[in-house]
Amino acid sequence: MHPAELLLELGAVIFGLGVLGRLAGRVGLSPIPLYLLAGLAFGSGGLLPLDAPEGFFEAGSQIGVVLLLLLLGLEYSAAELVGQLRQQAPVGALDLLLNGAPGAILALVLGWGPLAALAMFGVTAVSSSGIIAKVLTDLERLANRETPSVLSILVLEDLAMAVYLPVLTALLAASGPASALRSVVIALAVLAVVLVIALRYGRQVTAVVAADSNEILLLRVFGLALLVAGAAEQVHVSAAVGAFLLGIALSGEVAELARPLLEPLRDLFAAVFFVFFGLTTDPAQLPDAVLAALVLVVVGIATKVITGWVAARRAGVGPGGRIRAGAALIPRGEFSIVIAGLAGSSVDPRLAPTAAAYVLILAVLGPVAPRLADPLARRATARARARAAAA
């Protein structure tokens, strides 16, 4: 293809994403659903098929996943993760089981097979930490008493992803039960080794990338992330997990300095990732997928509300705050798409469109839900006060 053509199409798509992102910001929505829609529109069978930048989008989307997970890892220190795990493990387990089960059950009922069920488990279980952190900030709820419970759940989900993703990728790559078992064992062993390195030798890893100049720091961290991700992929641990663990291993000042450098890169390539997912999803499958997705949406809202309620009650928060916590947890986003992207159409052609529709709906509803739930929360608080006064 002619370079001019590539540049033109690429420029048009990326500029278009900028316009869409602005639009989403105006109405207070996450841009993720709009990026997905753009991908669907530009893909084969869409409104405006573009064939040119597919190669770029494929590579770019890989980098997008690596950066998404790397920055997620940079958010946390290893000590923070272990501490949260100790304190909040029961809530985390409840969250994953309650919210993963509907997806898994649906996949089994529809006859997609056990691998698709495992993938759908992840798709429905994981809230979008990106959207939720933004919504909590926008609604000025960072200081609310239920917020630490909400954030803890997000941390645990992110940590669970580190175990879940390698298992999923190992199983996807395996052929037959014996090889599946072996791949899972290898993947988990590698994960354990890397986790120990991250926990014990974080300082040494940090020393490898530390640099005086921003330019060199950026190149080192980004380069190392791709190297680790590639190596992880080689042993079927999934590139995303490698990047996540590297992020955790990097700590202190380097993490602080690297985060603002990498954020714009992540935003660019994450957008590319969402578009690529849309590009590779067949829009003709969407109408069929919508019904399944709607069922999952209704159940998924209910299960997240229950999770939030339980988590907040455990923290001694009143009924109003419990409702707010549940409503805050509803958005699903980037990681549901990451999982669906990993599983791809190799398990079942209906999985990706269903996940796309599910995320489209919940990423739009999610940020609105806390506002809708607010009157309910106020009423619950008033009722609790009245009861306390009467007693």
Partner 1 sequence: MEIEETRLPGVGLKHDLTTRSGQRVGVVSQRSGEREIVLYDRDDPDACRAVLHLTPQESEALAELLGAPRVIERLARLREQVEGIATEGIVVADGTPYVGRTLADAQIRTRTGSSVVAVARHGEVTPSPPPSFRFAAGDKVIVVGTDEGVRAVAALLMLG
Q: How many CB atoms lie within 10 A of CB 257?
A: 18
Phi, psi of 145 (to 5 degrees): -70, -20
Nearer to partner 1, 181 or 386 (CB): 386
We find the least distance from the C-beta atom of residue 214 to partner 1, in angstroms, to be 17
We find the least distance from the C-beta atom of residue 77 to partner 1, in angstroms, to be 10
We find the least distance from the C-beta atom of residue 135 to partner 1, in angstroms, to be 13
How many Å apart are CA 95 and CA 310, to the nearest integer?
9
Nearer to partner 1, 90 or 287 (CB): 90
Phi, psi of 139 (to 5 degrees): -85, 5
Q: Contact residues for partner 1 (CB under 8 A)?
A: 75-76, 80, 84, 129, 133, 140-148, 151-152, 154-155, 256, 317-318, 320-321, 324, 378, 381-382, 385
We find the least distance from the C-beta atom of residue 136 to partner 1, in angstroms, to be 8
Nearer to partner 1, 17 or 136 (CB): 136
Token pair recorded at residue 183: 């791949």
Nearer to partner 1, 178 or 388 (CB): 388
Q: How many CB atoms lie within 10 A of CB 319?
A: 20
| Contact call for residues 168 and 119 (beta carbons, < 8 A) | yes
| Contact call for residues 66 and 275 (beta carbons, < 8 A) | no
We find the least distance from the C-beta atom of residue 382 to partner 1, in angstroms, to be 8
Nearer to partner 1, 142 or 208 (CB): 142
We find the least distance from the C-beta atom of residue 145 to partner 1, in angstroms, to be 4
Tokens 């680790």 -> residue = 228
Nearer to partner 1, 178 or 390 (CB): 390
Amino acid at site 203: R
Tokens 């079942």 -> residue = 348
Q: Find, among 158, 331, 162, 129, the residue nearest to 245 by Cα.
A: 162
